Amino acid sequence: MSKKTIAISVGDINGVGLQLVLENHKNISKYCKPIYCINSKLLKQASKLLDIKVPNNFTTYDTHGYFKIKAGKVSGKSGLFSYNSFLDAINLAKEEKVDAICTMPINKEAWSKAGINYVGHTDMLRDIFKKDAIMMLGCENMYISLYTEHIPLKNVPKEITKDKLIIFLTNLHKSLKLKGQKVAVLGLNPHAGDNGVLGNEEKQIQKAIRKTNKIIGKDIFKGTFVPDIVFTPNVRKNYNYFVAMYHDQGLAPLKALYFDEAINVSLNLPILRTSVDHGTAFDIAYKKNNNLSNLSYLNAIKYITKG
Q: What is the pLDDT of residues 20-64, one digit of tens each?
A: 999 999 999 999 999 999 999 999 999 999 999 999 999 999 999
How many C-beta atoms surround the C-beta of residue 33 within 10 A?
15
pLDDT at 13 over 70: yes
- Show the domains of the chain with their CATH numbers: 1-131+269-307 (3.40.718.10), 132-267 (3.40.718.10)
Q: What is the pLDDT of residues 210-255, one digit of tens each?
A: 999 999 999 999 999 999 999 999 999 999 999 999 999 999 999 9
Dihedral, 269, 273, 274, 278 alpha carbons, nearest 10: -90
Confidence of residue 306 (pLDDT cuts 50, 70, 90): confident
pTM recorded for the entire structure: 0.92
Strand partners, 179: none
Cβ proximity of 39 and 303 under 8 Å = no
